[in-house]
Amino acid sequence: MKLALCMIALNEERYIADAIKSLKPVLDEIIVVDTGSTDRTKEIVKGLGAKVIDFKWCDDFSAARNIGLDAATSDWIIVIDGDERISPKDLPIIKKLIEDKEADAYILIQRNYGNELDTVDYTINDGAYEEAADYDGWYPSRLVRLFRNRKEYRFSYKVHELMEPSILKHHGKIIDSKIPIHHYGVSRGSDELLAKNKRYLDFALAHIKDIPDDSKPYAEAGRAYIKMGEFDKALDLLISAYKMFPSSNRIILGLTGLLIKMNRTDDAKKVLEQSLRFYPDSADILNNLGFAYFQLGNTEEGIKVLEKSLKVKEKNPGAYTNLGVIYIGKKDFEQAVRCFGEAAKLNPRNKKTHYNLGVALKQLGRHEDAIAEFEKILSLDKNHELAKEQIESIKKHK
């Protein structure tokens, strides 16, 4: 069976060569749909043997992707972006998968890497892949990215496009492959990420106008507004999304996390308690609910729920962090140090965790240990003013 790589690209000269090279040993065809690059993207991919198709951008990611699918002649298609990679050790597995006569498509696990990720389903790096070596963990997205080349299989949605709807509509068999896609998009520069977020917001708002009864663009626009700090707009959109799809784990967590941030903790608690009907053993929902109980003054219930979260998911830096905050509130600094210490082991490049651990150590009079934590922050961010102030304060009062 022959395999084609289909990509879309816009000014990806820094990344795209590595993306293509990661798959090249198993490829028979490379197609890159360029949406208006002004850098060396097209030159680079042509040098790697790609067929380049120029596409006039029309605010529709699915339209751009589907142009590439139309041009593919191979039996199977795999889709990755310029800031994604496939590990060499998974290439033989991909070759084996496309020989399967029953499967029509495979789900791959997109690992969105980062060190400061306060996100749903954050997963600790287990060291299994060298592609993850620079990161503490990732949050996963399960996506169909490997599928048979059939004209009825095409992407849907203008933004955060998906292949799944068309495959399911035509009764295709989708199998979970467990193969990771290593995605480094969250590690791009802040200006680049802000521009990308604004583009996605515009697309999501346009999608709402086109299809007002679909929860997906409401949730996406809400998340975009959160990143921009426009919480009131985000809340209206996430409430709308929740009303349309009240059993969506991602929408529940986005909405309740925002409600807690906006000090509407009682509203968050009500939504979280209702959501336990759908997800009684969701570590993330239990994390939010435990912290909500604490903020509403029910500290012991908060501790109980967070400890349950840790039983559900042992490697759970969010639960340890929330417990640490609760114990600082109780002035139980020994327990706070224990909890923040566990969180720091799981997520060693998280500056907030080291700061909280340093504060708790300082309260116990363990000044050298506290300074060590604040210095870890400065090794990650030399301009971190709060860490500098804490070190100066300790040294001044020694």
Which SS3 state, helix, strand or coil, does residue 105 take? strand
Is 376 within the bounds of a domain?
yes
200 pLDDT exceeds 90?
A: no
What is the arithmetic mean of pLDDT over 80-100?
97
Specify whether the CB–CB gap between 138 and 117 falls below 8 A: yes
pTM: 0.78
Specify whether the CB–CB gap between 107 and 175 falls below 8 A: yes
> 59 pLDDT band (50/70/90 cuts)?
confident
Is 195 within the bounds of a domain?
no
Is 225 within the bounds of a domain?
no
How many folded domains does the chain comprise?
2
pLDDT tens across 32-42, in order?
999 999 999 99
Q: Which of 187, 213, 244 is the last residue of a domain?
A: 187
φ and ψ of 181, to 5 deg: -100, 120
269 pLDDT exceeds 70?
A: yes
* 24, two tokens: 């090249």
pLDDT of residue 45: 98
pLDDT of residue 114: 81
**Same-domain pairing of 180 and 319:** no
Alpha helices in the chain (DSSP H): 16-23, 41-47, 61-71, 91-97, 164-169, 190-210, 215-227, 231-244, 249-261, 265-275, 283-295, 299-312, 317-329, 333-346, 351-363, 367-380, 385-396
What is the arithmetic mean of pLDDT over 350-363?
95
pLDDT tens across 275-290, in order?
999 999 999 999 999 9
**Same-domain pairing of 176 and 325:** no
pLDDT of residue 208: 92
CATH number of the domain residue 130 falls in: 3.90.550.10
Is 205 within the bounds of a domain?
no
6 pLDDT exceeds 60?
A: yes
Is 361 within the bounds of a domain?
yes
> 11 pLDDT band (50/70/90 cuts)?
very high
CATH number of the domain residue 387 falls in: 1.25.40.10
pLDDT above 90 covers what percent of the chain? Answer: 81
DSSP 378: H
> 124 pLDDT band (50/70/90 cuts)?
confident
Is 239 within the bounds of a domain?
no
Radius of gyration of the chain (CA): 23
pLDDT of residue 118: 60
- Where is average pLDDT lowest: 76-90, 186-200, 353-367? 186-200
Q: Which domain holds residue 326?
A: 315-398
DSSP 292: H
Range with the largest mean pLDDT of 117-126, 166-175, 309-318: 166-175
Is 177 within the bounds of a domain?
yes
pLDDT of residue 189: 60
Is 128 within the bounds of a domain?
yes
pLDDT of residue 283: 92
Q: Which of 136, 170, 187 is the last residue of a domain?
A: 187
**Same-domain pairing of 165 and 24:** yes
pLDDT tens across 202-257, in order?
888 988 988 899 999 999 999 999 989 999 999 999 999 999 999 998 899 999 99
DSSP string computed for 151-190: TT---BSSSS-BSHHHHHHTT--EEEEEEEEEE-GGGS-H
**Same-domain pairing of 180 and 326:** no
Q: Which of 170, 187, 204 is the last residue of a domain?
A: 187
117 pLDDT exceeds 60?
A: no
